[in-house]
Chains A and B, each alone.
Chain A
Amino acid sequence: MLRTIGLRRLLEVATTLLGVSLLAFFLIRVAPGDPVLLLIGERGSDPEQYREMAAHLGLEQPLIAQYLQFVANALQGNLGVSVVSQQSVIEELLARWPATIELGVSALLIACVLGIPAGVIAAVYRNSVADFLIMTVSIFGYSIPVFWWGLVLILCFSIGLDITPVAGRIDILYDIAPITGFMLVDTLAPQVVQEYGFSAFGSALAHLALPALTMATIPLAVFARTTRSSMLEVLSEDYVRTARAKGLSEFWVIWRHAFRNALIPIITVGGVLFVTTVITGAILTETIFAWPGVGRYIVNSVYARDYPVIQASILLIGIFVVLVNGLIECVYRAINPAVGRDSAN
């Protein structure tokens, strides 16, 4: 039975990725713009030079042939070479991916730690001043323009109060060779600690604070609101009343009985938020804070019509979404074994 489910899932994943690859490939080519002309700019090129460049980039082939070539190469782990830098796309992306993940995970962590308790408090003290305050702030947080918010935080904490650095991943004078690509991890490498002590780690942490806070603002608001509505629903259930009637303490009722059952929608939202925060949130936040992640890289590649980079990025994002969804499903099963049984039947 398990094997059938596994195979079915695998087939689903393969179909999804095939769909993603088709979209990734054709969508960007439907959009106007020519990578060769964008490279050349105002300079112009004679027809022979133009043809040579297009041929080198494989653009003179029929679209179907280009697509098949792309899929054949992708299956062998070769995602092509960037039109702009002539470097392997996979290497370019892998060098930037950890920065984005590090920022995304930190942002989500902040959002969870602050947003979920805020939502629980708002639900438990429904219609109180605390509830009103939390919901007002969360609406504000949700509708805030990220670009403006980032600059306000810099002005406030970096320029005004002088407690955080302005931008970047670490003070530029620390020369840290990337090992994992995660700055918080790399700064704890023995040779780094030997050279700089823990000050490099401190600098990385300080640099992470503002971008993570900027990126956390929207998910934080969503967490607070989802937790509140989910908790309100659960708190009115009969079993919560029963638990109270049994004389359990209010703390125990809320966290052990109500919260655990309210978690499923929160986790779903969390999963979706993780994907959207990491991918879409990254684009603006990375630009403001000079954060060298994939978001900024993809945007620049779209501007330059760097086809290989764009299609590889979309494919990798597709894989990432599939992985996150798989992970969420595992968490569901752990929390509520009935989920697993349902899908098995």
Chain B
Amino acid sequence: MNKVFALLTFYSAVLVSMPAFSASNLVYCSEGSPESFNPQITLSGTARNATAPTLYNRLLDFEPGTTKLVPSLAKRWEISPDNRSYTFELRDDVSFHSTAYFTPSRKMNADDVLFSFNRQLDKEHPYHMVGGGTYQYFQGMGMDKLITKVEKLGDHRVRIELSQPEAPFLSNLAMPFMSILSSEYSEQLQRENRKADIDMLPVGTGPFKFRRYQKGTSIRYKANEAYWQGQPAIGNLVFSITPDPSVRYMKLKKGECDLVVYPSPSDIAQIKSQSGMVLAEEDGLNIGYLAMNTEKPPFDNVQVRRAIAHALNKQAYINAVYLGNAELAINPYPPSMWSHNDEVAQYEYNPEKARKLLQKAGYSDGFKVTLWTLPVSRPYNPNGRKMGEMMQQDLAKIGVEVELVSYDWGTYLDKVKRGEHDMVQLGWAGDNGDPDNFLYTLFSCDSVQRGSNNSRYCQPEFESLIKRARRESDLATREQLYREALRVFSEDVPVIPIAHSKVFRALSSRVEGYVMDPFDVDNFFPLSVSSNRQQ
């Protein structure tokens, strides 16, 4: 018994004697391990959060919390009259991180911009094949075909030439994959024959410096005291990797985390009522939709598509599937984005009207189809199966017999890309705040082959409108074109927009200055912590 007592005493003694940690530490409970520390070669949100807002800057950045572009590493820029040439003037006071593995000898300059662009653009570049040679965002956004030349005009002047005018180009430059890496560091690694380290031992210009990554456990950053926007208030930033959302919430409750990513929807109400905790929420820049394969009967008939749109009780899905944490969708992108148009054909829940439309289309006896339900929880649709069951019931009311089908995620995407589906649940989260990022990616003729146009919608009038808007530089004209495109889209209803789901973060009330971001990125630079962490 005495031994047990002695052990307990020892145990409590070591726990009590924990060192006091500085008040400027912030622990961020993230959901997974980043696959790399270079946003140029990653696609996941996990890796994006661990790199873009912490370690790097871009020529332009989005103002935190908005989709507005602001100068960042580029002080200013000029666009040629033909909209095909962009000249950037760079800041001359930006330093790269000085770390245990690299000490910069010069400030950031045009060479770094050239290195960062050319690694992705030029297949002969010494770093192109490092990390696999595929730059999914760069290629996915069409930058490899768009940019023809990146030219150094002076130490702090760079010109980028495009093959054609493209309005969203500047927004693309603010995306994580356009982060600026150090050319000097790349030369050092090349000399030391450790080129691959560039993606795992990062050097950037951002507010935090990389210290250590323990696989599956934690990522440690230290404040960049020489940050060009000023020293961050957070001295040590630690990502504590915690995959289970309920456990993340419990860690926050116990003071083991200060900021929690993606709390579980079932914990939201509790977080709101808990003292010492704050729930941050924002309408996500996303869309969850039901796509109908317009290449296949009966969905090649617009009347049928409209009938389906009237038959679905979207508000009921929002209540049951999103637990009320979403906004009913009218357009394929949310109202927070410019050019959103609510003066378009809207399909209110009306089974009677739906039945009549089906009769008009020659399907008075209804028909049988398959509906593919999402096999995984996505930010834009947390429970595809449940939504599918509700849709099945709604459609049964108008005589449409629905068989629910699902595959594992990889197979699902593969079969959708091949166009094997009748109706399929999918969605999208915006990358750059430009309507083009939704309309071109999801509904252009080019995207049918790419596998991102799931309704396989290719309509000449709509196509011409979004292509014109893409090349137009005047914002007012672009807005007019997109509003018109949305009108055509709503008449044709190739997909039924269901909901824009909200995005949540839970944070300790000692965290100050937190701003939710429409791109689902956490900006740590403006944060501060008010008192010491609970031990």
- Residue numbers of A with Cβ under 8 A of B are 31-35, 37-47, 49, 52-53, 56, 82, 84-87, 92, 95-96, 99, 151, 154-155, 158-159, 162, 165-169, 171-173, 175, 177-178, 196-199, 201-203, 205-206, 287-290, 292-293, 296-297, 300, 303, 305
Who on chain B is nearest to A204 by CB?
A: B14
8 contacts between A and B (CB under 8 A): A32-B408, A44-B140, A45-B140, A86-B196, A95-B214, A166-B254, A173-B238, A290-B243
Q: How far is the CB of A214 from chain B (nearest CB, A)?
A: 12
Contact (Cβ within 8 A) A42 B428: yes
| Pairs A-B, 4 closest by C-beta atoms | A202-B14, A292-B216, A33-B410, A44-B452
From known contacts A32-B410, A38-B410, infer whether A95 and B134 are also in contact, taking CB-CB under 8 Å. Answer: no
**B21 at interface (Cβ–Cβ under 8 A)?**
yes
Contact (Cβ within 8 A) B216 A96: yes
From known contacts A32-B408, A84-B35, A158-B250, infer whether A292 and B428 are also in contact, taking CB-CB under 8 Å. Answer: no
Who on chain A is nearest to B240 by CB?
A: A172
> What's the Cα separation between A31 and B18 when bound, in Å?
49
Q: Which of B131, B140, B244, B410 contacts A34 (CB 8 A)?
A: B410
**B41 at interface (Cβ–Cβ under 8 A)?**
yes
A35 neighbours in B (Cβ, 8 Å)? 410
> What's the Cα separation between A85 and B463 when bound, in Å?
37
Who on chain B is nearest to A169 by CB?
A: B217
B408 neighbours in A (Cβ, 8 Å)? 31-33
From known contacts A32-B411, A37-B413, A166-B256, infer whether A199 and B217 are also in contact, taking CB-CB under 8 Å. Answer: no
> What's the Cα separation between A99 and B216 when bound, in Å?
10
Question: What is the interface of chain B mostly: helix, strand, loop, or mixed?
Answer: mixed
From known contacts A38-B413, A168-B217, A206-B11, infer whether A290 and B253 are also in contact, taking CB-CB under 8 Å. Answer: no
Contact (Cβ within 8 A) A205 B11: yes
Q: How far is the CB of A67 from chain B (nearest CB, A)?
A: 21
Interface centre among B15, B131, B238, B447 (most CB of A within 10 A): B15
Q: How far is the CB of A153 from chain B (nearest CB, A)?
A: 11
Contact (Cβ within 8 A) A44 B451: yes
Contact (Cβ within 8 A) B215 A96: yes
From known contacts A34-B414, A171-B18, A172-B240, infer whether A288 and B134 are also in contact, taking CB-CB under 8 Å. Answer: no
B441 neighbours in A (Cβ, 8 Å)? 43-44
B533 neighbours in A (Cβ, 8 Å)? 173
Q: How far is the CB of A170 from chain B (nearest CB, A)?
A: 9
From known contacts A33-B408, A290-B244, infer whether A172 and B15 are also in contact, taking CB-CB under 8 Å. Answer: no
**B43 at interface (Cβ–Cβ under 8 A)?**
yes
What is the size category of the interface that chain B forms with chain A?
35 or more
A47 neighbours in B (Cβ, 8 Å)? 449
> What's the Cα separation between A287 and B245 when bound, in Å?
10
A56 neighbours in B (Cβ, 8 Å)? 132-134
A305 neighbours in B (Cβ, 8 Å)? 410
Contact (Cβ within 8 A) A42 B15: no
B132 neighbours in A (Cβ, 8 Å)? 53, 56, 86
Q: How far is the CB of A156 from chain B (nearest CB, A)?
A: 11
> What's the Cα separation between A95 and B449 when bound, in Å?
40
Contact (Cβ within 8 A) B139 A49: yes
Interface residues of B in 217-246 (CB under 8 A from A): 217-218, 220, 236, 238, 240-244, 246
A85 neighbours in B (Cβ, 8 Å)? 35-36
Interface centre among A44, A86, A290, A303 (most CB of B within 10 A): A44
B68 neighbours in A (Cβ, 8 Å)? none
From known contacts A86-B199, A159-B250, A177-B212, infer whether A287 and B414 are also in contact, taking CB-CB under 8 Å. Answer: no
From known contacts A167-B242, A169-B217, infer whether A33 and B411 are also in contact, taking CB-CB under 8 Å. Answer: yes
Interface residues of B in 396-452 (CB under 8 A from A): 407-411, 413-414, 417, 426-428, 441, 447, 449-452
Who on chain A is nearest to B137 by CB?
A: A43
> What's the Cα separation between A46 and B450 when bound, in Å?
5
Q: How far is the CB of A342 from chain B (nearest CB, A)?
A: 42
Contact (Cβ within 8 A) A287 B417: no
> What's the Cα separation between A35 and B35 when bound, in Å?
14
> What's the Cα separation between A199 and B36 when bound, in Å?
32
Contact (Cβ within 8 A) B35 A41: no
Who on chain B is nearest to A172 by CB?
A: B240
Contact (Cβ within 8 A) A49 B134: yes
Interface centre among B131, B211, B216, B533 (most CB of A within 10 A): B216
> What's the Cα separation between A53 and B133 when bound, in Å?
8
> What's the Cα separation between A212 and B155 when bound, in Å?
58
From known contacts A39-B136, A296-B243, A303-B409, infer whether A199 and B35 are also in contact, taking CB-CB under 8 Å. Answer: no
From known contacts A198-B14, A296-B216, A297-B216, infer whether A43 and B251 are also in contact, taking CB-CB under 8 Å. Answer: no
B521 neighbours in A (Cβ, 8 Å)? none
Who on chain B is nearest to A154 by CB?
A: B250
> What's the Cα separation between A49 and B509 when bound, in Å?
46
**B25 at interface (Cβ–Cβ under 8 A)?**
yes
**B19 at interface (Cβ–Cβ under 8 A)?**
yes
Q: How far is the CB of A305 from chain B (nearest CB, A)?
A: 6
Q: Which of B131, B241, B410 contacts A37 (CB 8 A)?
A: B410
Who on chain A is nearest to B452 by CB?
A: A44
Who on chain A is nearest to B14 by CB?
A: A202
> What's the Cα separation between A289 and B452 when bound, in Å?
36
**B79 at interface (Cβ–Cβ under 8 A)?**
no
Contact (Cβ within 8 A) B450 A45: yes
From known contacts A33-B411, A85-B36, infer whether A44 and B447 are also in contact, taking CB-CB under 8 Å. Answer: yes
A166 neighbours in B (Cβ, 8 Å)? 247, 250-251, 254, 256
A46 neighbours in B (Cβ, 8 Å)? 449-450
B451 neighbours in A (Cβ, 8 Å)? 37, 40, 44-45
Contact (Cβ within 8 A) A52 B134: yes
> What's the Cα separation between A288 and B249 when bound, in Å?
12
From known contacts A86-B199, A206-B11, infer whether A37 and B217 are also in contact, taking CB-CB under 8 Å. Answer: no
Contact (Cβ within 8 A) A42 B452: yes
A167 neighbours in B (Cβ, 8 Å)? 242, 244, 247, 250-251, 256
> What's the Cα separation between A331 and B271 when bound, in Å?
53
A95 neighbours in B (Cβ, 8 Å)? 214-216
Contact (Cβ within 8 A) A290 B131: no
Contact (Cβ within 8 A) A289 B414: no
> What's the Cα separation between A33 and B18 when bound, in Å?
48
**B323 at interface (Cβ–Cβ under 8 A)?**
no
Q: How far is the CB of A50 from chain B (nearest CB, A)?
A: 9
